[in-house]
Amino acid sequence: MAGLITLLRSTYLCAALIACNVASAVPLWEIEGTNNRIRLLGSVHFLRAEDYPLPPAIADAYREADIIIMELALDKITATDMLRVQQQLAIDPEGRSLSELVSAGTYRKVRSLAADIDIDLNLLQPFEPWFAALQITQLRLLQLGFDGSYGIDAMLTHQASTDGKPLLGLETLDEQLQALDTLPAAAQQKFLLQTLEDAGSISDDLELIMTAWRQGDIATLNKLLLEGLDEQPEVYEQILIQRNRRWTQAIIDMTKDSEDYLIIVGALHLIGEDSVQSMLDDAGIRTRRIK
């Protein structure tokens, strides 16, 4: 899902980024100056079976944590929860279809782009544009061989359940999806169109991402993962900045605890000037990258 995601062009890129499976460049940070140990891990929600085993640093961070924190507590979300939220948020309350919720010109472009990557847009007609974009993201990743069941979140959720290790979420499923459901109509259309445009060309960027990841080149990763988000300010504000602010406050509260935490969020949330680490720094809490 994240974390969401997770949701933009960077969702595809993050999946490729982790796939190279290089231990020396794991996106892992630790908060300094606390009585407990709090680590922040940049995660991806889609991986492949061949991307395992994960880099040892991830297993070490997991083992040393008393409590695992993710964007969502996946072990507590049922199929019924998913269906309920989908019905409440993803379907237009007035019963309009996808083709009715976007302009005629945009829909022609969307239909053409979807056909180019063998995605049947008819299957997405019941949904609002933001949710259709999420479904397209997932379908495209599956076409490229990436599966949510192999994502770091899913695998560590299973491990925590097996080990009896507490797992908590930074937000609820409703809160996560409302970040997109509340986007203005024009922003949703642009989000859908941009998602399809990126879906068609994403394979061209994979090697660039992998090379930067192998080298641990954070500056290049910042550029590649954040590219294009400045053209979608509403999306950037609601799925990144606002959520990072809420998560930062929750993490600040954890610094007052005695338990050791591993906090796992989408890699997009840990890069750039609006990253969780930057917001922690603004609050007087320092982090250091673990290499």
Residue range 267-279, pLDDT digits in tens = 889 888 999 999 9
Mean of pLDDT values over 164-173 = 97
The confidence score (pLDDT) of residue 12 equals 44
Mean pLDDT of all residues belonging to the chain: 86
What pLDDT band is residue 98 in, cutting at 50, 70 and 90? very high
The confidence score (pLDDT) of residue 31 equals 97
| In the predicted structure, residue 13 carries a pLDDT above the cut 60 | no
**Cβ distance 225 to 13 under 8 Å?**
yes
| In the predicted structure, residue 217 carries a pLDDT above the cut 80 | no
**Cβ distance 200 to 103 under 8 Å?**
no
* % of the chain surpassing 70 pLDDT: 86
Residue predicted with more confidence, 290 or 99: 99
What pLDDT band is residue 144 in, cutting at 50, 70 and 90? confident
**Cβ distance 227 to 9 under 8 Å?**
yes
How is residue 133 written in tokens? 């974009």
Cis before 53? omega within 30 = yes
Residue predicted with more confidence, 12 or 274: 274
CB under 8 Å to 128, separation ≥6 — which residues? 89, 90, 91, 92, 98, 101, 181, 188
Please give the torsion angle defined by the CA atoms of residues 56, 62, 63 and 65, in that order, rounded to the nearest 10 degrees.
140
Phi, psi of 262 (to 5 degrees): -115, 115
Residue predicted with more confidence, 64 or 207: 64
* % of the chain surpassing 90 pLDDT: 66
Q: Which residue from 3, 63, 77, 15 is spatially nearest to 224, judged by alpha carbons?
A: 15
